[in-house]
Structure 1
Amino acid sequence: MNVCVTTPETGPAPRAGGPQAPAAAPAGGTRSRRGEPRTYDFRRPTKLSREHVRVMQIAQESFARQATTILTTFLRTGARMELRSIEQFSYDDYVHTLPDPIFITTFTLEPLAGKGMIAYPLDIAMAIVDHMLGGSGAAAQPARPMTAMETTITTHLLERLLHEFAASFAGITQLQPAMTGFEYNPQLAQAASGSDTVMVANFAMAVGSREGEATLVLPFSSFAQSLNNAASPQLSESALRKRKKAAEALAARLNLVPVDVSVRFAPLSVSSADLLSLAVGDVLLLRHPRDSPLEVTTNDVTFAYAIASNHRRRLAASIVPTPHAAVKDTA
């Protein structure tokens, strides 16, 4: 059973594997806007949990920052990579969202199984080569496969990006990515089987005046265990002891922190007119019942009750049980 669902989240709902993207993706190969219905296949439930997305987001944002630095340094022009969303697709559904032609590079994920894939618009790929050869990148770029020289130039840049990719994911798992080739037709990339679940990170990419969308694709099955470990790390006995000791030390220090405490009568409400008309010598009736205790407060929070008293000729407050009315109001 396939149904269309929407989510109130800030980004699109993660999608389970299955035939869904062709129905949801608008013409032109771009993904649907936020808030639009997405087809969800209940026979293939979502595998990418919120915890997984949180862990992936930290790593992908780190990669985006480093990629921005590398692109700006290599190209000597304004460049930007900014994470937009992380989604789950079946590989076939993801491929159907890509335009043809598009620049694609695949890479291994040693020691993990499977392949990763980076894809971004072909005109941006050609403009990058133009910049690295000293051009402005502003001229119209050819929509064709790269020559051997262009491929060599691009390989140097992508190797640096993959190095930063591995460094950004070091908190999840150790990787030694290595490029396996380039492709320009999404149907021929063959980075995964059609039904395999993949994690797709969408980036806003800009090089000079050119803007587009870049995607980084990773196989979910290869990262599943590492994501589970990163989302719920298992601490050693030594680490647990250190954490417990730190918590006890924190609690002990917090008990010594001085806190301002006030003893006050019940609050009094007056109209704005009466407040503005107050003059020296006026008297305000507090209307505090004689048999009602005073409130003991800190930071406007009442935490106890007391009655006026004295201690060694000094004014004092004697703490008393909480009045029944106050307990009832709290409940």
Structure 2
Amino acid sequence: MRDFVTTPETGPAPAAAPAPDAAPDAAPTETPEAAPAGATGAAAGPSTPASRSRRGAPRTYDFRRPTKLSREHVRVMQIAQENFARQATTILTTFLRAGARLELVGIEQFSYDDYIGLLPNPSFISTFTMEPLAGKGMLAFPLDIAMAMVDHMLGGSGNAAQPNRPMTGMETSITNHLLERLFEEFARSLQPITEIQPVLVGREYNPQLAQAAAGSDTVMVATFEMAVGAREGEATVVLPFSSFAQSLNNAASPQLSEQALRKRARAREALAARLNLVPVDVSVRFAPLTVSSSDLLSLAVDDVLLLRHPRDSPLEVTTNDVTFAYAIASNHRRRLAASIVPTPHAPHAAKDSA
């Protein structure tokens, strides 16, 4: 008789043992093993160790380049870029007469040098200006997808092997028309943030030669999953953060309620009223005098300094070394005073003040 080793199971109770008169050499009936308790929930749920490691994988933080792109900025840009992706999908499908897709993956901050280092060589790179904003933007995606686009627009299937070379003049003209249409939709998607007028200004295939920003400049990189026919790749749109910083701050700030606006108005009025009561040191002085350092160090009691201030010239009324009025020496109720006079060479009536 063969011996069988059994192991404890946490699933349902094992089947009943065979009758004693069963044949000794009969093979035992195999039953599927029950899964350990909780296995179904762990397999079906999203919190498997692999998925947790992907979501929570540590990332390098460069303290020399602090994060400038806040969550509010990302939220505002994400809405705009998702709108662009939807419209771009429609445009690509219409122009190419083939299945196309552009889907936003995420928005991140990079230095321009770090971003360029991630692009494959060669890539299809288009730079554009963004009047009235300063700086340049950049659109990049795989070169084989760009060549497949040309194939589709010329009536081909796009499935053949595509050349790995810069585009000819004819191919460039064909793609320029498509890119200009994409840039129009890109500007329209950014209208809730700021108004721009993208204009295509350059084409490059080597990422190291694409000069859209300085190497240390902070850029916002929107990453898209791109598919044209059977070809898939990654497309990126790069924008200079400094050009969009103020617009992003304005778009990310929440709209204030009427009560909050009234509260701010009252605070502004109270601040203005208190500013009118702030004491300020005021001086009435003669025209400044210039002396040598030796004369200054040799001053002694009973020495006389010639002020060289003309007798008919008014004195300067200043605060914090800023002259804001002119006056002449006077008295008021047995006190020395200054009487404000018109600014020299200004034909205004005299206005006296004690």
- Paired position in structure 2 for 1:183: 204
Question: Hey, what's the Cα distance between the residues in 2 that align with 1:74 and 1:97?
Answer: 29
**Alpha carbons of structure 1 residues 34 and 129: separation in structure 2 relative to 1, 3 Å:** farther
Secondary structure at the aligned position of 2:184 is classed as: helix
Query: Are 2:127 and 1:106 equivalent residues in the alignment?
Result: yes
**Shift in CA distance, 181/34, structure 1 to aligned 2, threshold 3 Å:** farther
Cα offset, 1:34, TM superposition? 5.1
Aligned twin of 1:205 = 226
Question: Which residue does the alignment assign to 1:64?
Answer: 85
Partners of 1:168 and 1:119 lie apart in 2 by 18
Structure 2 residue 162 is matched with structure 1 residue 152? no
| Of 152, 163, 184, the match for 1:163 | 184
Distance 2:150 2:230 in 1: 15
CA, structure 1 residues 237+95, in 2 after alignment: closer, same or farther (shift >3 Å)? same
- 2:103 corresponds to which residue? 82
Structure 2 counterpart of 1:201, which letter?
A
Distance apart, 1:51 and its partner CA: 0.2
User: Hey, what does 1:30 align to over in structure 2?
Assistant: none
Whether 1:120 and 2:141 are equivalent positions in the alignment is yes
Task: Note the C-alpha offset of 1:36.
Answer: 3.4
Which of 229, 244, 267 aligns to 2:250? It is 229
Equivalent in the alignment of 1:5: none
Task: Give matches, 1:197-276, under 5 Å.
Answer: 197-232=218-253
Q: What SS does the aligned partner of 1:40 have?
A: coil
Per the normalisation by structure 1, the TM-score is 0.61
Partner SS state of residue 61, structure 2: strand
Determine the structure 2 residue equivalent to 1:192: 213
Aligned mates of 2:219, 2:141 — CA distance in 1? 17
2-structure distance, mates of 1:188, 1:159: 22
Q: Deviations along 1:262-298, whole A, 9 cap, x unmatched?
A: xxxxxxxxxxxxxxxxxxxxxxxxxxxxxxxxxxxxx
Query: For the structure 1 residues 125 and 239, does the alpha-carbon distance in structure 2 shift closer, same or farther, using more than 3 Å as the test?
Result: farther
1:119 CA drift (Å)? 0.2
Q: Matches of 1:204 and 1:222 in 2, distance apart? A: 26
TM-score, normalised to structure 2's length? 0.57
CA distance in structure 1 between the partners assigned to 2:110 and 2:171 by the alignment = 31
Match of 1:55 in 2: 76
Distance 1:43 1:139 in 2: 47
1:140 aligns with 2:161: yes
* Structure 1 equivalent of residue 33 of structure 2: none
User: Do the aligned partners of residues 238 and 105 (structure 1) sit closer, same or farther apart at CA in structure 2, a change above 3 Å counting?
Assistant: farther
* Residues 181-210 of structure 1: CA deviation (Å, up to 9, x unaligned): 110000000000000000000000000000
What amino acid is aligned across from residue 117 of structure 1 in structure 2?
A: M
Aligned with 1:192: secondary structure?
A: coil
- Aligned partner (choices 114, 119, 125) of residue 93 of structure 1: 114
User: Which has the higher Rg, Structure 1 or Structure 2?
Assistant: 2
Residue identity opposite 1:113 in structure 2: A
Residue deviations 1:10-68 (CA, integer Å, cap 9, x gap): xxxxxxxxxxxxxxxxxxxxxxx754332111232100000000000000000000000
RMSD of aligned Cα (Å): 2.0
Kindly state the Cα deviation for residue 233 of structure 1 after the two structures are TM-superposed: 5.1
Distance in structure 2 (CA, Å) of the matches to 1:139 and 1:98: 24
SS of 2:201's equivalent?
strand
Q: Structure 1: how far apart are the matches of 2:148 and 2:55?
A: 29
Pairing of 1:16-31 with structure 2 (within 5 A): none
How many residues are matched? 210
Q: Describe the shift of the 1:74–1:113 C-alpha distance in structure 2 as closer, same or farther (beyond 3 A).
A: same
* Residues 184 and 80 (structure 1), Cα distance of their counterparts in 2 relative to 1, 3 Å cut: same
Q: Distance in 2 between matches of 1:34 and 1:94?
A: 21
Q: Which amino acid aligns with 1:81?
A: L
Structure scoring higher RCO (CA < 8 A, sep ≥ 6) equals 1
Identify the match of residue 193 of structure 2 among 166, 172, 192.
Answer: 172
Letter aligned with residue 220 of structure 1: F
* CA distance, structure 2, for counterparts of residue 209 and residue 239 of structure 1: 54
SS in 2 for 1:107: strand
Q: 1:98 to 1:235 in 2, by over 3 A?
A: same
